[in-house]
A = this chain, B = another copy of it.
């Protein structure tokens, strides 16, 4: 990573460990709620990290003690959002809404298409958009205090920037639980999130979550970046496809990737019981 990190207005990036970037959603006085300029900035942040060879694993958390994010800044959306915009007729309004949704989705998808693994570190309020972002991450950890909610039906809409598309994939299908929380907008807590597998670990405090996140990220960052990014790419390609298609895609992918110098370095280090180091990717 360049010695000087770029500056963003609503996101803070730091490097808590070698090759590990930590992104903080940084609007704590508003419970990290998102308004329009934040989407676009989030996309810029993750595109930057995706292509930065100095980064091998990414953490995302919410600044301040109270929230990962409380979701969409409804008050701001209520004043100037695309739902209020005028249009000549409902078809023209639909056209403009569709473009707005696609644009918004693409900002969230920047998280999921980041080539490096992204770990969500969740605490406090994790409402609405928090689930969209969380499901776009690869791994999810949370603090005991976290209060999750697929909030959208409460404001009269079906979630549309990723939750409904990704939650069934990360939860493994249309389980009774997925349907219930999406249809009822009821809150669920950290323990329930762990039990159903939405998060893979619950830790006492936000600080513990960050510490654990840095630890996992450091471990991942110590592995061959060719292997790690290939694993993420190939796993993501399985969604909605057959085993046969995926085996064939994996074979093509690895036909290039097995020519990495990392394999020899890893094997040699393994035999000598040393820790290997790998070239940037």
- Verify if A200 is at the interface (C-beta below 8 Å from B): yes
Q: Does A15 contact B (CB under 8 A)?
A: no
A182 x B250 contact (CB < 8 A): no
Number of copies: 6
- With A244-B244, A254-B158, A258-B91: A78-B267 Cβ-Cβ less than 8 Å: yes
**Chain B contacts of A80 at CB under 8 A?**
none
Q: Which of B95, B179, B197, B227 meets A157, CB within 8 Å?
A: B227
Tell whether, in the assembled complex, residue B184 and residue A219 are in contact, meaning their CB atoms are under 8 Å apart. yes
Q: How large is the interface on A (under 10, 10 to 19, 20 to 34, 35 or more residues)?
A: 35 or more
- Are A235 and B178 neighbours in the complex by a CB distance under 8 Å? yes
**Residue in B93, B170, B173, B253 whose CB lies within 8 Å of A158:** B253
Shortest CB distance A227–B (Å): 4
Best-buried of A74, A75, A95 by chain B (most CB within 10 Å):
A95
Q: Is the CB of A235 within 8 A of B92?
A: no
From B88, B166, B174, B279, A169 is in contact (CB under 8 Å) with: B174
A216–B244 Cα distance when bound, in Å, is 29
A247 x B140 contact (CB < 8 A): no
Q: Does the CB pair B256–A224 fall under 8 Å? A: no
CB pair B74 A231 closer than 8 Å: no
Given A97-B255, A139-B176, CB of A158 within 8 Å of CB of B234:
yes
Q: Which residue of B lies closest to A138 (CB)?
A: B179
**Does A238 sit within 8 A of B, measured CB to CB?**
yes
Excluding A91-B226, A153-B224, 6 further A-B contacts by CB distance (< 8 Å) are: A91-B256, A156-B226, A157-B258, A164-B246, A168-B239, A185-B223
> What are 25 A-B residue pairs whose CB atoms fall within 8 Å in the complex?
A83-B258, A89-B259, A90-B94, A90-B259, A91-B259, A93-B259, A117-B179, A138-B176, A139-B183, A140-B176, A153-B231, A155-B227, A156-B267, A157-B254, A157-B258, A158-B250, A160-B234, A160-B251, A165-B250, A183-B232, A186-B219, A240-B242, A241-B242, A249-B249, A252-B256
